[in-house]
Amino acid sequence: MALLNPAANQNVRVPRQKLVDKSAEVFLKLVPKLSEGAQATHRFFAIFLSAVAGIGFLILLAVNILLAQDAFTLSELKAEAKVVADQREAINRQIESVSSPAALAAQAEALGMRASQSPVFLNLDAQEQALANGEISRG
């Protein structure tokens, strides 16, 4: 019956509220109160952490800028390397065209040389074999 009566519930709530308030005071006594000096120390610490974070962000920004510049330099160097490779290939093609057998024959004829009618080929291996057999002597 007491549970259905609102006046009885009100009486139970008042001691419960006092108990909650008292236990909160006990728990808060475990944590020391902050004095002005402690608050100033906390403020200094917060400012110090903010300054360290700001300096860290500035360093991160500087590193990022340097990496971006290096990326541009790298792309420029790659383009330059491609141009140099193209030039090297063009020079190699010119050397191959000048040193081709047909070009060498044309240059020889321009200098007054004539092609041999009876070409002779030396077989150096046969000569060394004859030397080893004693068929011919050096000298």
pLDDT truncated to tens, each residue of the chain (139 aa)?
A: 455 555 555 555 667 788 888 887 777 777 666 666 666 688 888 999 999 999 999 999 999 999 999 888 999 999 999 999 999 999 999 999 998 988 988 999 999 998 888 887 766 777 777 777 777 777 5
Task: Spell 117-138 as b/e; 16+ CB within 10 A means b.
Answer: eeeeeeeeeeeeeeeeeeeeee
Which pLDDT score, from 0 to 100, does residue 95 have? 93
Which pLDDT score, from 0 to 100, does residue 4 have? 57
Which pLDDT score, from 0 to 100, does residue 1 have? 47
Tokens of 34: 């902050």
Structural contact between residues 67 and 60, judged by C-beta atoms closer than 8 angstroms: no
Which pLDDT score, from 0 to 100, does residue 64 have? 95
CA 128 to the chain's CA centroid: 61
Which pLDDT score, from 0 to 100, does residue 131 have? 75
